[in-house]
């Protein structure tokens, strides 16, 4: 027994208790042996037996209730490492969730279900499988690093050698500047020291290439992928491989930030600005932020990669907290595409809606066709048309359950709500007045593909969005066709801008990027800039095509600062102007936010809960440090017949906001029962959208 062990007798165990039960989630049990903190156990809870984790330093006040003994010890696997426990304590505290709820939720579901002998069996099977693995192939040759890459790698090497925790590093470079190559070299160094590497990516399914590249580069190492599409059995297996130290590289989406890795030596967060690092339900954690914290805890370097860093990260660079490693040039001297901002208001205006594509853009597409080059046309709206409309009576295809229109999907003749899923056949006639002539209004990718097919006869079209890639193998098939040169024009939503290394695309066009300029969400311009930069990065990746590469922006607002900065590929200028706006408006990263959300069938119930919460706050001392705004409906105020309301809490100090929330939220739990009809409430720390 090590000196850190919890002594036998009364042992604190963290379990998952439903939040509404208002049960503490650290319970005392009786143990007949001394246990390491982090040991997995099964304990009786009420009439059930549930998974639990032995914890240290969180013992709760003793009660007179006789202690129940621990039912099973799952000690055929090592205890969870101390740093893992520390990470979970931090995350539960920071995101205001129960320690038990969060800690058990981030473990594989199978692990929570299996008893000791079942788990031992799984382990045996796992080890047997490992013995039969194939001979390693030889690794592809690695290119000699250029000067910027070498400098970046040297800085990372230095950071790993330092005894003190190093500053987080931002690897700042456009697509094609060689960031991934730097990740691979840093990974290699870490592996050489027998350390494990955690590589976080926004999406794995969309970017199978990165996984391919990592496995090819390290054929003698075990690489596991952790993401939401794994079966429960696969999830347990990858988790165990990481936890047992048998996986050398864990490549995963946001949940992988919680992977237990006893030999962790490096964390990489690719596309660190990507919104999908923020969990959008339950514990709304940011995997990027937790990765930075975890690196600090474990004293390992963390590398955040992006062409368009989040403004939070960029502000840390400007203030000197993070270190910027710059890759300013594309590999092989490839130039960034020339950005052409096309002013839609210069088009002659015939009757009716403006054309999907300006004639000049069509000509540019025809040029590509005649040269056998590929084009990518980008529109961030799927379906055929966002709404159907009856000109006779004004009927529109509203969703009966949400504050949204139902989208017209032509291929299966449905009207579909993208928020609640409510789907119906397209009516033959207007449901209100019987008019037979109901028309699609506006344009989604499905319609754009159809229109482009008509405008460019003979062009081979493909579509890449959530509808076209649904179903097994469709996504891979489309990608393969593009890579094989079997597609001339690819139409897609933002899905298409993520990470794909399309070599033969010389034209990227954003046909309707204006909505983000006037969105109520303060992060909309930041997201749009990142998206367009990333889309531009899909063009001209081959040096010999780069001089002809273009990015077209069709806009009614050509003077907008966002497009001006984009034209010059000038991230720093864009960031400076955004930060200026944020500073004067008191928004992040200069203020810290939490959003209290409430949902009910009746909006008045949700509002009353938020008002009462504000009154409770007003009576608290800590509320001096925060500003609480009145309740408002979010932009999607009704989803599936549930009304939503939200209330913003703002503070100049992160720690004071934390202190206030920690005092305030327990009181809201107590008040909940008084609000009959409240469906649920939750707090979102550092919300992505307000
Ligand atoms: P990013 O991740 O920034 O998009 P990559 O690392 O994928 O960039 O590099 C883009 C391309 O250039 C890849 O095909 C990669 O193999 C290649 N590459 C990267 N670094 C070098 C180098 N130093 N010399 C030659 N080719 C390189
Ligand atoms: Zn009508
Ligand atoms: Zn709906």
Ligand 1 centroid vs 482 CA: distance in angstroms? 20
* pLDDT tier at 58, thresholds 50, 70, 90: low
Q: What is the pLDDT of residues 219-235, one digit of tens each?
A: 999 999 999 889 999 99
Query: Averaged over 42-67, what is the pLDDT?
Result: 80
- For 166-201, the DSSP string reads PPPEEEEE-TTSSHHHHHHHHHHHHHHTT-EEEEE-
pLDDT band at 2 (very low <50, low <70, confident <90, very high): low
First-to-last alpha carbon distance for the chain, in angstroms, is: 50
Ligand 1, atom 8: closest residue by C-alpha: 178
Residue of 150, 171, 176, 503 to test ligand 1 pocket, by largest number of atoms within 8 Å of CB? 176
The answer, yes or no, to whether the previous bond of 424 is cis (omega within 30 of 0) is: no
Q: Ligand 1 mean position to 509 CA, how many Å? A: 24
> Cα separation of 488 and 373, whole Å?
7
SS3 content of the chain, % helix, strand, coil (to 5): 35, 20, 40
> What was the pLDDT predicted at 63?
62
541 C-alpha to center of ligand 1: Å?
10
For 653, phi then psi, to 5°, come to: -125, 125
Query: Using a 6 Å CB cutoff, which residues line ligand 1?
Result: 143-146, 149, 173, 175-181, 331
pLDDT at 390 over 60: yes
Query: Which residue, by CA, sits nearest to atom 26 of ligand 1?
Result: 143
Pair 600, 678: CB distance under 8 Å: yes
| Ligand with the closest atom to the CA of 431 | 2
Dihedral sign computed on CA atoms, order 484, 487, 490, 495: negative
Instruction: Compute the distance from residue 681 Cα to the ligand 3 centre, in Å.
Output: 20
What global pTM score does this model have?
Answer: 0.92
Tell whether the model's pLDDT for residue 315 goes beyond 90.
Answer: yes
Categorize the per-residue pLDDT at 203 as very low, low, confident or very high, splitting at 50, 70 and 90: confident
Q: Is the pLDDT of residue 573 over 70?
A: yes
Cα of 334 vs centre of ligand 1, distance in Å, is 11
The overall average pLDDT reported for the chain is: 91
Give pLDDT tens digits for 268-293.
999 999 999 999 888 999 999 999 99
CA nearest ligand 1 atom 20, residue: 178
Of all protein residues, the one whose alpha carbon is nearest to atom 11 of ligand 1 is 176
Give me the long-range contacts of 160-167 (CB less than 8 A, separation at least 24).
160/189, 160/190, 160/193, 160/265, 160/266, 160/300, 160/301, 163/299, 164/299, 165/295, 165/296, 165/299, 166/301, 166/323, 167/321, 167/322, 167/323
pLDDT score, position 567:
93
Residue 97, both tokens: 């969730």
Higher pLDDT, 255 or 6: 255
Contact 561, 574 (CB under 8 A): yes
Closest CA to 195 of 259, 296, 264, 295: 264
Whole-number pLDDT of residue 133: 63
* Mean pLDDT confidence for 486-503: 84
Q: In a mutational test of the pocket of ligand 1, which residue from 147, 309, 326, 331 has the highest number of ligand atoms less than 8 Å from its CB?
A: 331
Pocket test for ligand 1, best of 181, 199, 497 (most atoms within 8 A of CB): 181
459 pLDDT above the threshold of 60: yes
Shortest-distance Cα residue to atom 9 of ligand 1: 178
User: Given a cut of 50, is residue 603 above it in pLDDT?
Assistant: yes
In total, the chain counts a number of residues equal to 690
CA of 532 to the centre of ligand 3 (A): 29
The more confident residue out of 43 and 635 is: 43
Return the SS3 of 454.
helix
Per-residue confidence (pLDDT) for residue 26, from 0 to 100: 86
How far is residue 417 from each of residues 14, 413, 422, measured CA to CA in Å? 41, 13, 5
Q: Which two tokens stand for residue 674?
A: 């008084």
CA atoms within 13 A on the CB side of 338: 9
Query: What contacts 327, CB < 8 A, 6 or more positions away?
Result: 148, 149, 152, 171, 172, 173, 174, 177, 178, 179, 182
pLDDT digits (tens, 9 = 90+) for 395-422: 999 999 999 999 999 999 999 999 999 9
Residues 296 and 165: beta-carbon distance below 8 Å:
yes
pLDDT at 19: 61
Using 50, 70 and 90 to split pLDDT, how confident is the model at 659? very high
Query: What is the Å distance from ligand 3's center to 419 Cα?
Result: 5
Ligand 1 centroid – CA 181 distance (Å): 6
- Label residue 413 left, alpha or beta by phi (over 0 means left) and psi (-120 to 50 means alpha): left
Strands 638-639, 592-600: pairing kind: unpaired
User: Is residue 490's pLDDT more than 60?
Assistant: yes
543 pLDDT above the threshold of 60: no
In percent, the amount of the chain with pLDDT more than 70 equals: 95
Rounded CA-CA distance 45/504 in Å is 60
| Lookup: tokens for 322 | 């993070």
* CA 677/CA 606 separation, integer angstroms: 9
Nearest atom in ligand 1 to 175's CA: 4
Q: What is the structure's pLDDT at 287?
A: 98
Q: Is the dihedral of CA 621, 626, 631, 636 positive or negative?
A: negative
Helices 208-217 + 179-192 axis angle, to 10: 40
1 has pLDDT over 50 = no
* Per-residue pLDDT, 432: 94
Evaluate if residue 361 carries a pLDDT over 50: yes
Q: How far is the CA of 438 from the centre of ligand 2 (A)?
A: 7
pLDDT class for 6, splitting at 50, 70, 90? confident
Q: How much is the average pLDDT of 454-480?
A: 90
Q: Which atom of ligand 1 is nearest to the CA of 173?
A: 3
Range of weakest confidence among 241-245, 377-381, 531-535, 547-551: 547-551
Q: pLDDT digit string (tens) for 141-160?
A: 899 999 999 999 999 999 88
Contact in structure between 522 and 579 (CB atoms under 8 Å): no
Residue 558 has pLDDT above 80, yes or no: yes
């Amino acid at each position: 027994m090590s000196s850190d062990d919890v002594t036998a007798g009364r042992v604190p165990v963290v379990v998952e208790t439903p939040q509404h039960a208002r049960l503490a989630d650290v319970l005392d049990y009786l143990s007949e042996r001394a246990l390491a903190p982090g040991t997995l156990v099964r304990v009786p809870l009420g009439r059930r037996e549930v998974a639990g984790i032995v914890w240290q330093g969180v013992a709760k006040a003793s009660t007179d209730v006789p202690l129940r003994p621990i039912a099973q010890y799952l000690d055929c696997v090592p205890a969870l490492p101390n740093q893992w426990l520390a990470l979970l304590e931090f995350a539960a505290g920071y995101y205001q969730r129960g320690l038990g709820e969060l800690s058990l939720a981030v473990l594989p579901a199978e692990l929570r279900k299996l008893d000791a002998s079942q788990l031992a069996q799984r382990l045996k099977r796992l080890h047997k499988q490992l013995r039969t693995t194939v001979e390693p192939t030889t690794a592809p040759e690695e290119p000699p690093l250029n000067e910027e890459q070498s400098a970046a790698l040297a800085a990372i090497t230095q950071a790993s050698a330092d005894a003190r925790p190093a500053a987080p590093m931002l690897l700042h470079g456009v697509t094609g500047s060689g960031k991934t190559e730097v990740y691979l070299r840093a990974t290699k160094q870490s592996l050489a020291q027998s350390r494990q590497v955690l590589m976080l990516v926004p999406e794995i399914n969309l970017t199978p290439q990165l996984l391919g590249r990592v496995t090819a580069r390290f054929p003698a190492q075990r690489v596991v992928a952790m993401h939401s599409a794994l079966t429960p059995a696969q999830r347990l297996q990858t988790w165990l491989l990481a936890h047992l130290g048998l996986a050398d590289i864990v490549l995963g989406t946001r949940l992988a930030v919680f992977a237990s890795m006893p030999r962790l030596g490096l964390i990489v967060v690719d596309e660190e600005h990507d919104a999908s690092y923020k969990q959008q339900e339950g514990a709304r954690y940011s995997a990027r932020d937790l990765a930075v914290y975890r690196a600090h805890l474990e004293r390992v370097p963390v590398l955040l990669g992006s062409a368009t860093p989040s403004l939070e990260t960029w502000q840390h660079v400007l203030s000197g907290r993070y270190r910027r490693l710059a890759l300013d040039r594309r590999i092989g001297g490839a130039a960034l595409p020339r950005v052409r901002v096309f002013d839609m208001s210069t088009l002659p205006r015939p009757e009716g809606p403006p054309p999907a594509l300006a004639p000049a853009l069509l000509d540019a597409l025809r040029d590509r066709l005649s040269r056998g080059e590929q084009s990518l046309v980008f529109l961030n709206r799927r379906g055929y048309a966002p709404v159907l409309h009856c000109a006779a009576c004004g009927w529109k295809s509203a969703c009966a359950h949400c504050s949204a229109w139902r989208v017209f999907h032509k291929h299966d003749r449905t009207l579909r709500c993208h928020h609640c899923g409510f789907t119906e056949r397209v009516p033959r006639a207007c449901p209100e007045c019987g008019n037979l002539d109901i028309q699609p209004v506006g344009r989604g990718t499905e319609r754009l593909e159809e229109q482009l097919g008509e405008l460019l006869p003979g062009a081979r079209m493909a579509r890449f969005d959530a509808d076209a890639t649904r179903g097994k193998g469709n996504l891979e098939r489309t990608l393969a066709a593009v890579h094989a040169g079997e597609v001339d024009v690819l139409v897609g939503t933002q899905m298409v801008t993520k990470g794909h290394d399309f070599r033969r695309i010389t034209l990227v066009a954003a046909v309707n990027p204006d909505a983000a300029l006037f969105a109520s969400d303060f992060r909309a311009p930041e997201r749009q800039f990142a998206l367009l930069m990333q889309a531009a990065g899909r063009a001209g990746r081959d040096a010999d095509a780069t001089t002809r590469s273009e990015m077209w922006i069709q806009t009614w607002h050509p003077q907008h600062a966002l497009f001006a900065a984009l034209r010059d590929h000038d991230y720093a200028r864009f960031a400076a102007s955004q930060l200026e706006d944020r500073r004067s408006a008191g928004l992040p990263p200069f203020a810290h936010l939490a959003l209290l959300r409430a949902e009910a069938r009746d909006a008045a119930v949700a509002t009353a809960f938020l008002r009462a919460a504000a009154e409770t706050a007003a009576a608290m001392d800590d509320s001096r440090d925060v500003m609480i705004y009145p309740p408002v409906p979010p932009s999607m105020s009704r989803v599936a017949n549930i009304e939503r309301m939200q209330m913003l809490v703002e503070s100049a100090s992160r720690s004071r906001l934390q202190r206030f929330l920690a005092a305030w939220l327990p009181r809201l739990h107590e008040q909940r029962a008084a609000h009959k009809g409240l469906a649920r409430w939750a707090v979102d720390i550092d919300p992505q959208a307000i």
